[in-house]
Chain A
Amino acid sequence: MANPWVAFLLVPLIKIVVILLAVILIAAYMSFFERKILAYMQIRIGPNRVGPRGWLQPIADALKLLVKEDIVPARAEKFVYFLGPVLVVAPALLVFSVIPFGPAFKLFGYEVTPYLTDVNIGILFILGVSSVGVYGVILGGWASNNKFSMMGGLRSAAQLVSYEVPMGLSVVTVLLMANSLSLVKIVEAQKQAGVWYFIPGIVAFFIYFVCGVAETNRNPFDLPEAESELVAGFHTEYSGMKFAFYFLAEYANMVVVSSIATVLFLGGWLPPFPNWLAAVWALPALAWIPPIAWFVLKMAAFLFVYIWFRGTFPRYRFDQLMDLGWKVFIPVSLVNLMAVGLGVLLIGGK
């Protein structure tokens, strides 16, 4: 890789295209699996008309949205209205640039890293970039000049902001144990420690995932888009491709939260108990499993839990939601942070 053009342009470009396609496909098929799984939970069959057993449904949906007419309300702020979906979808995709899907491996004599880049402030980058998405939501809701959208956008902003604090605190808990902001190093630290961090950090793990559900506006925290009271909230007025991008961003954000939970708490690409059971994972029957498969498996489990939540829980009321964030999660995560700190101090645990 002596040629700088290959190293800095061609290889990243290929990786970006692969990541982009993968994320869009996963997001599209998440909507399909969501409808299917929810249907089976409610003893229905779900979409089964387009293609064999309904498998082409997401593609049909995407094509439909592409040719739908695009309604911009006459009273809307035109430019901001257009900016909203872009501001939501770009950060959701951008976060994937630092998520490590697997360790470096050799392919045709070249060393290939199955992630775009490993910046040494990875987790800060993710928190920073994903916060930009709030602007897309609140600007979109405001620019529509619709009362429902306005309320939805405000609620959404308040919710995202409230749950970002306990989320940050639970991420810090992992950093206490890993002592690095780089996601690759965090996974490697878990290999060194021999346990996934969700065992010592079980409280942080729980808080992280619940906050993740709230950050992505999903059930039971889907107040900003509560169909029954706010008529889809901040994207009431959006149609066609702009709506599709809000939709894509929501599902991409679910994949983001699941991936980060996998990396921080479930050991990323590592198999369960990588050191104690090292002999088991080296068996010929199991050794062929690529590390990326472990990553995808864990991520898929989180995505399933998302859908499971939607099939199970009723929606929170807004004051309950705020109480949960400010009066329960913040004190609990602060106490947990100091407890884990004490644990690291006493046991040394490396």
Chain B
Amino acid sequence: MNAYIPVLLFIVIAIAFPLITFVFAWILRAGRYDPIKLEPYECGNPITSEAHDYRFSVRYYLIAVLFVVFDVETVFLFPWAVMFRKLALFGFVEMLVFIGILVVGYVYAWRRGALQWV
């Protein structure tokens, strides 16, 4: 566990570094504000709606779901790869089966157009 103590220290410093810099910037910076300057940038057009009101394509959700499937699969591969020389042929065949099942799902998703970005 001792190997993680420096990492903890680094986490604290990595978060503190931007915060401290913000404080410096807050002291040093200029600032003259007016309502028009604080409007969201929209090429100078008057704002008619909030960005948060807009809906966006369902494909983003689909990509997120597909990502979860494939990323979990990658997580399974990590321990397998580390033990690969010990597992030898048995491990190889087993992973062929595992990836085979995955490929069936992958081909299905492809055929149903889940990977198609219009």
Complex contact A319–B85 (CB within 8 A): no
**Cα distance A345–B91 in the bound complex, in angstroms:** 10
Complex contact A71–B84 (CB within 8 A): no
Complex contact A94–B67 (CB within 8 A): no
28 residue pairs A–B, Cβ–Cβ below 8 Å: A16-B6, A66-B21, A66-B24, A66-B28, A68-B29, A69-B33, A71-B33, A72-B38, A86-B18, A90-B18, A93-B10, A93-B17, A118-B3, A142-B52, A161-B63, A164-B67, A164-B71, A169-B77, A179-B84, A179-B85, A231-B43, A240-B29, A242-B22, A326-B115, A337-B77, A338-B95, A344-B85, A345-B88
A7 to chain B, nearest CB (A): 8
CB of A219 within 8 A of chain B? no
A58 to chain B, nearest CB (A): 16
Complex contact B63–A8 (CB within 8 A): no
Contacts of A71 in B (CB 8 A): 33, 37-38
Interface centre among A119, A161, A173 (most CB of B within 10 A): A161
Complex contact A172–B117 (CB within 8 A): no
Complex contact B6–A117 (CB within 8 A): yes
Produce 1/0 per residue, A334-350, CB < 8 A to B. 10011001101100001
Contacts of A145 in B (CB 8 A): 40, 50-52
CB of B25 within 8 A of chain A? yes
A71 to chain B, nearest CB (A): 6
Complex contact B24–A73 (CB within 8 A): no
**Given the interface contacts A119-B7, A241-B25, A341-B95, does A330 sit within 8 Å of B106 by beta carbon?**
yes
